[in-house]
Every structure is written in structure tokens, then in C-alpha cells.
Amino acid sequence: MTLPDEARGAAPARGRLEGRRIIVLGAGQQTYGLADPPVGHGRAISVLAAREGASVFCVDLDADAAAETAAVITGEGGSAWAAAADASEEAAVVRVLDEATAMLGGLDGLVHNVGIAQGNGLTGTTVEQWDRVFAVNVRSHFLACRHALPRMSAGAAIVLVSSQAAYWPVGAWPAYNASKAALQGLLLQVAKEGAALGVRVNAVAPGLMDTALGVHSASDFPQRTSTPVPLGRMGTAWEVAYPVVSLLSSESSYVTAQTLLVDGGLTALRQPTSL
């Protein structure tokens, strides 16, 4: 199957984020031991935003990964900076938001692409794992939105990266699945408060994606590769990045409080089998 240029990250830029100042939390990429890993969501979103004209402040728990993403952007002639932070820690979130706002001269967009999965079923998930997953998958989003909104002016936008797990249980990760469902409630509250400021707040929910994490997950859940996705294949990180860029841009100026499923139709049209 021949993928369109957008799905391969090879389409020409269209200037949709010209002049925008964006911070991406979770902008790095992990290899999971793969020699040639597919691009991940954070890197694809950051690079595409820069290609579309944005200045991008790349943040990741892994300082090297954030720096590598920034280097890709600057290597293509874009503007990017990098910083390391644990997005689940309030002081760290405030620090990088302060740094980004100062470096960029303001803040027009926030992308929150941070999430983990731990545990194995109810009996195989410890209280510590549950709390850590919620700290990363929900508290970090709360902290970022809480402290980013006052820094944003009318016309700015926030995009959270959720998952199809917000709609149906994926794998054997009760904490992950519950945290993604909780993110839906947080999204609506942030969108309500953001609307009063003229700031739009939306989310994208990827499905089965051909990323390094996706390939790694297939080793634990081999049925992943045989799941009957209606469009007949897994998606690419670029196919998440494009909707994110659209939601950040003025072309989505009347869209807020929405979650866009980017899953090839799997959630709405899935067969009665479990993943």
C-alpha cells in the first residue's frame, strides 16, 4: 500500500502555523532498542509544527531526546529549543513554561504528549503503579493546562494527546485505560475555562500506530498486528501530527472541547474482539 505524502512526513509545508509559538511536552523519542525506529508522535508533532512555521520549544523527560528533536528542526532550518522536565512535577512544569514563554516571547500553543502504561490486569497492578500512571497521564496534563492558560492570549490553542483507550479497554492496563478516560473529563473542564479566555482546547486519540512504542508493544500483545483495523493498516505518527497541527491552527478556530479519534475507524467500527 502506497501511503500519501502526509502519512510519510513528506508533504510540502503550507505555513499553517506561521509565527506561532508552541511548546511540546513529550517532544522526544525513545528507540526501545530498535535499530531504525519509526518516528514517534512527539517528534513528528514538533517537526511538523516547525515546518508549518512555528517556533517550537521541545520538552521531554529525556534531555537528549528533546535535544535530538530540536536538532532535527534546526537542521531543517526551523526554530527550536530544548529542555528536560518531569511533567508530573509542578515546579518542573512552571519552570519550562517560564523558559518557553521567555525564549519564544509568548505562547500560542501547548501540545501535551506524555503518557505511560504500567501493570498487568487488576491483580498485577500495584498501588504505586496506579498512582504513577495517573501522575503522568492525568496530573501532568492538569498542571500544564493550569499554568499554561494564564500565559496564553485569545487565539491560542491546547492539544492533549489521549488514546483510543479512553473509549474501550486496551491491553491489560487498568491504570492506563482509566487515566485516558479521566483525561476526557479534564479536557472538558479546561476547554470550558479556556473558552472564557478565547483559548481552544482539544485532544487527539491515536489508535494502533506504527511507532517505536507500537512496535515494542507488539512484543507483549502480538494480536496487535492482526487487529482488523477498518482502513487495513496501522497509522503513522505523521497522521497524528497533521490533526494536531490543524487543531493548533486558525483553520480550527471554531473547534473546541473535542477529541478526534485517529485510529483508522477502529473504535467506531471495531469487531467484537479484544485487543
| Out of 13-22, 212-221, 224-233, least confident range | 212-221
| Beta bridge partners of residue 159, listed in sequence order | 111, 202
* pLDDT tier for residue 219 given thresholds of 50, 70 and 90: low
Q: Residue 167 has what pLDDT?
A: 93
Alpha-carbon gap, residue 245 to 243, rounded angstroms? 5
User: 0.75 exceeded by the pTM?
Assistant: yes
Q: Nearest 5°: phi and psi at 55?
A: -90, 130
Instruction: Identify the residue whose cell numbers are 467500527.
Output: 269
Residue 270 has pLDDT above 80, yes or no: no
89-117, pLDDT tens digit by residue?
Answer: 999 999 999 999 999 999 999 999 999 99
* 13 C-beta neighbours (distance < 10 Å), count: 14
Task: List active site positions.
Answer: 176
* pLDDT tier for residue 85 given thresholds of 50, 70 and 90: very high
Alpha-carbon gap, residue 21 to 30, rounded angstroms? 25
Residue 274 has pLDDT above 60, yes or no: no
Under DSSP, is residue 83 helix (H, G, I), strand (E, B) or coil? strand
Q: Residue 272 has what pLDDT?
A: 54
- Over the chain, what is the mean pLDDT? 93
* pLDDT tier for residue 246 given thresholds of 50, 70 and 90: very high
126-162, pLDDT tens digit by residue?
Answer: 999 999 999 999 999 999 999 999 999 999 999 999 9
Residue 38 has pLDDT above 90, yes or no: no
Name, in order, each residue with C-beta under 8 angstroms of 4's C-beta and a sequence gap of 6 or more: 11
Q: Is 108 within 8 Å of 21 (Cβ atoms)? A: yes
Q: Residue 213 has what pLDDT?
A: 66
Full set of structural domains in the chain with CATH: 18-268 (3.40.50.720)
Burial 37-58 (b: 16+ CB within 10 A, else e): bbbbbbbbbbbbbbbbbbbbbb
Q: Residue 271 has what pLDDT?
A: 61
Residues making up the chain, counted from first to last = 275
| Beta bridge partners of residue 161, listed in sequence order | 204
Alpha-carbon gap, residue 79 to 53, rounded angstroms? 9
Q: Residue 228 has what pLDDT?
A: 85
Cell triple for residue 246? Answer: 490543524
DSSP H helical segments within 80-139, as ranges? Answer: 90-104, 127-134
40-74, pLDDT tens digit by residue?
Answer: 999 999 999 999 999 999 999 999 999 999 999 99
Burial label, 229 (beta-carbon count in 10 A; 0-12, 13-18, 19+): middle
